[in-house]
Each structure stands twice: as C-alpha cells, then as structure tokens.
Amino acid sequence: MSPAQVPDGSDRGAIILIGGAEEKVHDAEILRRFVKLCGSDRARMVIVPTASETRDKGQRYESVFKSVGVRSVRSLPFETRSDCERDDWLGILREADGVFLTGGNQLRLSTTLGGTSAAKMLRRLNADGVPMAGTSAGAAFLPEHMIALGEEGSTPRGDMVTLAPGLGLTNRVIVDQHFRQRDRLGRLLTALAYNPFAIGVGLDEDTAAFISPDNQLEVVGSGALTIVDPSAVEHSSMDSARKSYPVCLIGVRLHILVDGATFNLETREAVSATAASRR
C-alpha cells in the first residue's frame, strides 16, 4: 500500500507518532505542538478512540484537548465497520483540521477501520495537508506496516512478532511504542528483518516523532527515540530462522535521539539537538 497521492502544489500533513503515556496536564508539550500544527484554537479536532476498550476514552481526550486550547473537538467512536460508513460521522471527519488516534489495541484499529470509508478518508485528509497523530496503538497503526503482536526482549527471534497492515500514511517506518519501558528492541528488529526497506522507530513514553511533509523527523518529549536503520544490513538469517531461535543480523545501524534531535527519513542522517539548533 502506498500513501495517498498528494495533490500537485500541496504538502502532505504532518504525521505525529507518540510512544504512549504522554503528559496531558502540567506540561503537555507534545499535544500543544500538535494542536499548533492543526491551527491552534481555531482547529476542528477529531478524536478516534477505536483502539480503546474504555468507553469514555474519547470523552477524556476531548477534555484534554480543550484544556490545551482547542475550542472544537469531537470524538467519533467507530466501534463497528458499519460505523465507519455513517454519513454523519464521515461528514464531521471530512471537516477536521487534525485527527488524533488514542491508544489501546492496534488490532481493533486495523480490523475495524481497515478498508472502510473512514480509513480512506483519513488517508485522503493527510494527503491533503491535515496533520494526524496517534499515541501508543494509534501510533503503531498510522504507517503501512504495523506490529500487531510481539514478545518482550532485546534479541530478535524468528517468531517474536506478528505484522499486520496499518493505515498507510507512510511506508517509510515501522513503529513500536512504550519502547524502553517494555523492552521491545527485539521485536522491532524482528519486524525489520522481515522488511529491511523500512526504518524502525522505537518510541519511549511521553516521547513523539514529528514527521514533517518533507520526511524530516524531529524528537519531542521527555524520553528517547530509538532509530533502527537496516539499510546497510549485510546478512540476515530470518529466511532460515526457526521458531523461538535468535536471528542473526549484521550491519544494523542504531541511533538514540532525544528532544530536539532530528533524523531525515530520506537521507537517513541523524543530527543531535545541539547540531540541529545551529542549522
């Protein structure tokens, strides 16, 4: 799946990937920056709480976004595939200046939204310039390839991860969330061993990757972002790896980036926060 075609003379909307447990009260830097991209207090914000089994998750995020200055915010609780075809909800979504997908279970997102009119509209909106953010499961779902299930641990293994199709806003990254907190380096490496084209983005909690329309990624938040770049891999044993056995990967590049650092998804160049501030 390729990202939706961007109209001539236009820019794709920003894509914001959040590792979960983002600060919502005292210093909600990530959410405030997202809201600014959407138009600040003039933004019409839509919350998609589909990933969560908590029925009031959408309403809770409505309150959060109002607390950071958004006047117009609406939760669209797509719980069934038929919900994703409702003309009234699609009409609200069509007018959004920004869309936020909550955390929960990313398979609820892919199995409920995948292939529906709501999913097609989300892709079209982003191609037309509307910023989209996801936290935790919402972040995992936004790219083309999604980690659906996996195990903890730092060593990649043949049966460590299950992949599923995501929304497809970008095909350049595979995301894993709660990264350091849940010891997920191994499953991100396993996912990349299946598809070395993509770049692995491991998001710590309260940490976000802001991806601009020109594919420049900037880190925002209190934690770290782990970039796993498989473009120079010389050898992978994934094709012959047995279940539960480790996978050999030679030539993987890894970067640990903190607030203000950048990574270019096209040139694959990482720049520290200090160096980025001088540019």
What is the full DSSP assignment across 33-99?
HHHHHHTGGG-EEEEE-TT-S-TTHHHHHHHHHHHTT-SEEEE----STTGGG-HHHHHHHHT-SEE
Evaluate whether residue 2 is within a structural domain: no
CATH number, residue 127: 3.40.50.880
Output the pTM of the full model.
0.97
Taking only the tens place, the pLDDT of each residue in 126-153 is: 999 999 999 999 999 999 999 999 999 9
CA distance 146 to 152: 16
Beta-bridged to residue 235, according to DSSP, are 250
Evaluate whether residue 6 is within a structural domain: no
| Confidence band for 220, pLDDT divided at 50, 70 and 90 | very high
> Beta strand 145-150 with 98-101: parallel, antiparallel or unpaired?
unpaired
What tokens appear for 275 in the block?
């160096």
CA distance 120 to 61: 23
Evaluate whether residue 7 is within a structural domain: no
Active-site option among 52, 178, 218, 236: 178
Q: Quick check: is 67 catalytic?
A: no
| Confidence band for 52, pLDDT divided at 50, 70 and 90 | very high
Evaluate whether residue 10 is within a structural domain: no
Active-site option among 22, 144, 205, 218: 205
What tokens appear for 200 in the block?
């692995």
Active-site option among 136, 144, 145, 236: 136
Alpha-carbon Rg for the chain, nearest whole angstrom, is 18
State the residue range of the domain holding 83. 15-278
Evaluate whether residue 5 is within a structural domain: no
pLDDT of residue 34: 98
Evaluate whether residue 139 is within a structural domain: yes
Q: Quick check: is 255 catalytic?
A: no
What tokens appear for 14 in the block?
């920003």
Evaluate whether residue 34 is within a structural domain: yes
Q: Quick check: is 231 catalytic?
A: no
Evaluate whether residue 161 is within a structural domain: yes
Give the count of domains, the chain.
Answer: 1
* DSSP code, position 157: B
Residue 198 CA from chain centroid, whole number: 14
Residue 219 CA from chain centroid, whole number: 13
Whose tokens are 């609406």? That residue is 74
